[in-house]
Structure 1
């Protein structure tokens, strides 16, 4: 089995800068609401119900923009290619960040937050789309998982940038500088894109087979395979499957009319909506406020949020590395019920000790919030990978767009009521999230198939779709199948030797 190469990692890191930008841009308002200057400049009372509604609207409008960006990117990706679409979405995200930072009024801030969300919503889809299509099967979990690593690092950076600006004597700089720096991630992606190749699957789709083969050969680059047999086998499989996919009608409506595509579509909607039903963003978006309710004051809520982001990112990185070993399904069916147990413990702790001045109990409640984000990563990391790998080439961009649309609808559903809900029913919100986690775990157990190690051209097997060719277990040959019987094994390595002579 080939190993992960520096070239694979380099491509992943460059493109994952896009999701770094998403993580930073998404998280910047989580920390802004912990800055005194934000409330002073916008003339808001931090304790009022009106302010709670404004905070909910800021996050909801960002998510709405991101949801429509997620759906819109599919047309761009299929029409102009993966690289050009990444560039366009990065440029729009830069503009959105600059306008957000310069917004003088709350009304303008709310409006521009939609634009910023639209650009970042495209990025959060295009990054896993691209990384999935350039990943060899044996390391797809790690490479595609860099999507999650990227926005985790973005959360960390914005948290500690905000800790630094908290000490500024200029109240405007406290929250506007972090907003302006949200343009750094998309700008970094724009600068890095010339150094990465176009997706080989997209190149095959538009008839540039020779260019696709060159890209695949470089992506494999295995010293133990001097004839590039594995690269050629993957190329043959991709090319054959693309020809079948081209004969299929593709569109959002068709995704729900053809049974095998409908199952895929419903499952990605479920996976991404369920990740929000755990309450992760309902908790994280107002974590600074929750920490304050637990008796923490001054810089401590912001500092703890920064540590929370670091812990979550470390867990996400670990989850990406074990995903190819244990599988996506295994992480889902263990992650949801364990998360439910954590949530009920958090609810009980806050019911007994919230606002009662018990520091030991408050510390325990904070500890279980930290444990929550660790456990959540074993659901979150495989979610992005699984949803990006199960669709055929003609539907992959649309499938990812649909999944992220569901993600942001879930975000709005479970996060927008957050500020008011945590003030009104407090610990009861954790019980709602717990119940949702249990239901999601049951559905995942019965309906979500395992995709670990399977080439994305063979995902159709899991959904009763036709597959053009099957790769051998060593990845260096092709098995043609007819009526479930092996009829021919094409030894690609031998074929290459014959051609060279």
Structure 2
């Protein structure tokens, strides 16, 4: 196989790996944007006789489903494999979307959304582990970043569908169709995933070493005898052999067994409040309330603004994903978090000043601050959502750690969807000030405790926590540097 064919194979495999895993990010974003859009539809509100409490419960149901499956997700992913768990998550999402779209009462609607939550919880555990383990080291950060960057595509799709069906309001199909369309992404994944390999680390851990080596060669766009592929294979073999020889098990007990693992867990879980409580979810779920407070009450105008906002987020998050390996995870997070805090103070101040005024410039100035906030968030925190957590976890606790990350993230989501409607009712624009203020604590935590993972294989990252490399193989960076020097000398 020529170099061009090998490179094309790697690119296609990486693209397909990312594409099947966007079911998680697209579903989460689609779900949030759909709820934000249907919440302002007359037909939806009248059909279920909604009030503040029932709006919150409807939005929270997916998080409750994800929380229910999270304790078992890690075991399922380790037992059945990353690919099969992704398939199971798709089936949950399809069934849940069908039930919620056909709901005859609020109980049926909530049940459907909880089943979607089961799929989302399993997907976030399996997909992030799969992408991190089944992409070449040099493209891992880009792949993980793009994986959750597609969150913006889900938001854009949901807003576009709702914008179209809103014309049908007050027909109940105005909200039923967007709910049913949520099946689209999982169905696509079911057609693609049979053509993709299983995680090489899962294969090697389960003594299918020859298959694991073949997959490593495929995702690196090379052959099994390539020195770079052999080095990665040796690193993985040595590390997994060490974990087995030390009696390190898979599961919850191992994740808190020693100080290095507890630090891994802390860093993994720290991303959940960073991404869920920084302020983006207020905009995702309650942008209608925010824009109404800012003086924009037309549901059509609100949806138009949200469509443009989704496109803006996608392009900025893509830029952040591309730059992640060069800038580093810590810098990406700190810069994004700092700008988010400043912009959210701006949203609060502008809402307080112009929210009840007829000043058109002031109203759209508020919208501008919302766009700047979401741009800052999308640049760093969106790519890092499922980039940093799987990187800091070693293989034997990666699936379990991602399950606990999912549990923590969804618990934060419950907090957002249940608490913020009442905060808006009680203190209005001051909600933004409170939220921006606790972001300062997140900034301090990242600055003092996060470790940098750029430029390292997953096995080399283990050395940052354990203090020793569990393989005699040289680092991949040192090997590539030496090979480049030799090639240059020969030329």
Tell me how far 1:251 sits from its aligned partner: 2.5
Gaps of 5+ in 1: 45-50, 480-488, 495-501
Tell me how far 1:471 sits from its aligned partner: 5.2
Summarize deviations over 1:59-92 as a string: whole Å, max 9, x none: 2222121223333221111111111111111111
* 3-state secondary structure, aligned to 1:5: helix
**Which residues in structure 2 correspond to 1:297-308 (within 5 Å)?**
297-308=298-309
Residue in 1 that maps onto 2:367: 366
Say whether 1:234 aligns with 2:232. yes
Tell me how far 1:422 sits from its aligned partner: 1.5
Gaps of 5+ in 2: 1-5, 487-491
Summarize deviations over 1:227-254 as a string: whole Å, max 9, x none: 5221121111111111112231332233
**Which residues in structure 2 correspond to 1:186-225 (within 5 Å)?**
186-222=186-222
Counterparts in 2 of 1:114 and 1:38: CA distance versus 1, 3 Å: same
Whether the 8 Å CA contact 1:233–1:476 is kept in 2: the answer is no
User: In 2, Cα distance between the equivalents of 1:5 and 1:193?
Assistant: 16
User: In 1, Cα distance between the equivalents of 2:425 and 2:170?
Assistant: 30
Structure with the largest fraction of helix: 2
* 3-state secondary structure, aligned to 2:396: coil
TM-score, normalised by the number of residues in structure 1 = 0.89
Say whether 1:325 aligns with 2:323. no
Residue in 2 that maps onto 1:441: 443
Whether the 8 Å CA contact 2:159–2:307 is kept in 1: the answer is yes
Residue in 1 that maps onto 2:78: 78
Residue in 1 that maps onto 2:377: 376
* 3-state secondary structure, aligned to 1:198: coil
**Which residues in structure 2 correspond to 1:257-296 (within 5 Å)?**
257-296=257-296
* 3-state secondary structure, aligned to 2:175: helix
Residue in 1 that maps onto 2:3: none
Tell me how far 1:109 sits from its aligned partner: 1.6
User: In 2, Cα distance between the equivalents of 1:477 and 1:326?
Assistant: 22
The list of structure 1 runs, each at least 4 consecutive aligned residues, that deviate by more than 6 angstroms after superposition, is none
Summarize deviations over 1:271-320 as a string: whole Å, max 9, x none: 21222221211232010222123222141111111211221122111111
* 3-state secondary structure, aligned to 1:434: helix
Whether the 8 Å CA contact 1:21–1:154 is kept in 2: the answer is yes
Whether the 8 Å CA contact 1:276–1:410 is kept in 2: the answer is yes
Residue in 1 that maps onto 2:403: 401
Summarize deviations over 1:183-210 as a string: whole Å, max 9, x none: 1111111111101100000000100000
Whether the 8 Å CA contact 2:267–2:450 is kept in 1: the answer is yes
Residue in 2 that maps onto 1:14: 20
Q: How many pairs are equivalent?
A: 473
* 3-state secondary structure, aligned to 1:384: coil
Residue in 2 that maps onto 1:484: none
TM-score, normalised by the number of residues in structure 2 = 0.91
Residue in 2 that maps onto 1:460: 462
Summarize deviations over 1:128-147 as a string: whole Å, max 9, x none: 11000011111111112232
Say whether 1:36 aligns with 2:42. yes
**Which residues in structure 2 correspond to 1:44-443 (within 5 Å)?**
44=50, 51-168=51-168, 171-222=171-222, 227-246=225-244, 247-296=247-296, 297-377=298-378, 378-443=380-445
Larger mean Cα displacement after TM superposition, 29-38 or 242-251: 242-251
* 3-state secondary structure, aligned to 1:402: helix
Larger mean Cα displacement after TM superposition, 160-169 or 442-451: 160-169
